[in-house]
Amino acid sequence: MDLKILLLLFLCPVFALSSFTILATNPAGTIISSFHRQAIQYLVDKQALSSIDKIPKHLDFQLAPATAIWVTEKTISKEYLQSQLDLFGRLDDVWNENFLENLFLSYEGSGQATIEPQAYEFLKLLGVARVFVTDNFGPAQYSVPTFRIPAAHRPPPGPSFISRQKGQQGVEIHHVYRLYLDEYDTFLFGSIPDIIKGGWIPTNITEFSSIPINDPPPQLIPVPSRLHMLSTPNLPLSGSRFGVKDVYNTRGLPTAAGSLAYLQTHEIPTETAPSIEKLLQLGAVMVGKTRTSQFAHGANPWEFVDVSYSWNPRGDGHLTASASSSGSACAIAAYDWLEFTVGSDTRGSVRKPAALVGAYGIRPSLGSMDLTGVLPLSEEMDTAGFFARHPNIFHEVASKWYSDSSVANRKPRSRFPLKLFYPTEHFPMRNRGAQELADDFVDALQQHLSITPVNVDFSKMITPFFPNGSFPAFQLYSNQLAEYRSWKDVGRPTADQFVAQFGRQPTFDPIPEKMFTRAQSLTEADFLAAVGLKRRFRDSILENIFKHDEESCSDSLFIYDAATGGVPSYRVEEFNHLEGATPFFLTAAAASPDGQAKASDFFNFLASMAELPEVTIPIGQVQYF
């Protein structure tokens, strides 16, 4: 069963309007289609962005496409309009020429603007039926009907729809969203802003299929025009679209955290997590919630029950993407209509999926972000991370999102670290092509950072800082940090409320069920002992491994393979026993030949337990068969 209300989109035209066809209605708005090089579907927001009064009554239309251009030139020529429309076509995947039936021109300069007669003839050739200009335009000879509107009521740059109901004096302006198919099942639902109440409205628009299927049909995700960013150029992330992992509260949208029981026992949030609010204030636009493993616990694809596992678009299409932020990871890998996606990282939930889908991912230093309104797993290890495909976007989001970090070291640095720990347990990799990529990357680091690789048995380096030199014991304490807090803060309250509402115990996915069972035998003293060990480990690592350096912050960096050594690991458990494949270790103890978990399989624990930042960097792709 999936966490969504199914509203099927029947792709049969109801009636046509100009170059658009109305397909269906939805609580969020009207679903329409158009053809521009390909069939494109849109959602027209039911709520009006603004309204324009005193429009002549003879203008009679129910719903019509429109384009708004904010102009800075005083004299509007044909060439200027052509340049603006060319810019729109290059920047945006929502706008196209079909939106030119109505044109809004807003002059953003001083004095009065004028429109040349040749510009009007150009608009007429484009099929523009009406022109709306702000009241700071001067008189003109026009060949297209032109109407004046107050500048305060101008729509944002880009595409929109205008509506006028019968008998209505004014014209209402509506946001329009392009609907993209979530073919890799990465989202729970899409969302659009609630203009009236604030927060968001879940859209829950699904693709209609005439063929009976057992699984719910994929979602259609509404994305706004990128041209709106032209009205807010001072915001660094203006126009950047992102999806957010379903452990973050967002006003008006349900938080399920991968659990039907949690969904049924918790009210829809009335506030947005400060971490997400900051992204919005920076100009980014949220388009929906992405899938997560239940309660952000590390789980394999075959252990997802309440919410189905997302599909990794890489390789043969059947590879694992790890957990728990796999929905966000698969989304950024699959869709070029997203700039970044938000995840959370406790013990690898951003870093591991990023490595497996070929994206940039970050776990920041512990304490870098306010995690109010985020489902907790372990306050001793939880961090807010994200994914991006492009290094420039990755840098821009990181530098702005974490800019208020209370733990950031802002002292100026004169050089990079001098040592690069190169673990011989991970290199060379099983796939020769993957090792060649790693060699080239290390060579580039040497050239550009003047850093020296140091071959080390890294497991041996850190073993003295484990309890009694035992990594399994260290892993046990780390597990207890997550198990105790997740049960106390999430599992037990959910179970108690579920029993109160339904008179029976809830059913959880296999991994949370196991973790909660173990957690019930833990005492607060056990938890505090685990906290103490973790903090001693942190201090030891910072004192002995990554030593402080005034010139470079840390005297060394650590590189390791966060993925699979260039060989496939599959979403189907049995496939991982095939020749040439390998299982992918999460947070459960992995058996080595002597029956013990190996530190080299869990180097991701190092940053989590030592409160360190860690970045996943995609360096290339190789064939594995």
Please give the mean pLDDT across all residues of the chain.
93
Confidence (pLDDT) at 271: 98
Q: What is the mean pLDDT of each run of 10 residues along the chain (625 residues)?
A: 38 55 93 89 96 77 92 96 97 97 95 94 95 91 88 92 81 96 98 98 83 76 95 93 99 99 98 99 98 97 97 97 97 99 98 98 98 98 99 98 93 93 97 97 97 98 98 96 98 99 98 97 98 98 96 96 96 96 75 69 97 98 90
> What residue ranges define each of the domains in the chain, with the CATH number in brackets?
50-174 (3.50.30.50), 419-607 (no CATH)
Confidence (pLDDT) at 36: 80
Confidence (pLDDT) at 37: 78
Q: What distance in Å separates the CA atoms of residue 105 and residue 103, rounded to the nearest whole number?
A: 6
Single pTM value for the model: 0.94
- End-to-end Cα, the chain, rounded Å: 35
Q: What distance in Å separates the CA atoms of residue 367 and residue 41, rounded to the nearest whole number?
A: 42
Confidence (pLDDT) at 7: 38
Confidence (pLDDT) at 144: 92
Confidence (pLDDT) at 1: 36
**DSSP structural state of residue 310:** P
Angle between helices 117-125 and 78-91 (to 10 degrees): 40
Cis omega (within 30 of 0) on the bond before 593?
Answer: no
Give the number of C-alpha atoms closer than 13 A to the C-alpha of residue 108, restricted to the C-beta side. 12
Q: Count H helices, E strands: the chain?
A: 14, 30
DSSP states of 199-251: SEEE--EEE--SS--SSPPPEEEEE--GGGGGG-TTSTTTT-EEEEETTB-BT
Which residues are within 8 A (CB) of 75 and not within 5 positions of it... i.e. 6 or more apart? Answer: 113, 114, 116
